[in-house]
Amino acid sequence: MKVPCTAPMLLVLLNKTITSGTVNDLTLLLAFSAGVLTPFIGIGLIGGYTLSKQIRSYKIYLKKISGFVLILLGLWIMF
């Protein structure tokens, strides 16, 4: 997914954490790790078979809401 795209940032954070080793660097590394793992955890929770039956009835609404959120994020990045 997005992990290969973030490899340069991960290498910079690892280098900075290993060389200086301050608490601030460790906090940045943990925040980065949490940001990378969040989508995987979300997919794991939502992707469960018991939830998928309930979510199927809201499929149209979920597509519209997620599309709207993606458009907003794209506009936010542009401006």
**Same domain (yes/no): 40, 54:** no
**Same domain (yes/no): 28, 40:** yes
User: What pLDDT sits at residue 16?
Assistant: 85
**Same domain (yes/no): 38, 54:** no
Q: Which domain holds residue 62?
A: 49-79
Residue 9 host element (H or E): helix 7-19
User: What pLDDT sits at residue 71?
Assistant: 93
Residues of the chain with pLDDT under 70: 1-3, 47-52
Percent of the chain with pLDDT over 70: 87
pTM higher than 0.85, yes or no? no
**Same domain (yes/no): 2, 40:** yes
CB 4 within 8 A of CB 36: no
CB 29 within 8 A of CB 17: yes
User: What pLDDT sits at residue 3?
Assistant: 62
User: What pLDDT sits at residue 65?
Assistant: 92
| Tally of domains within the chain | 2
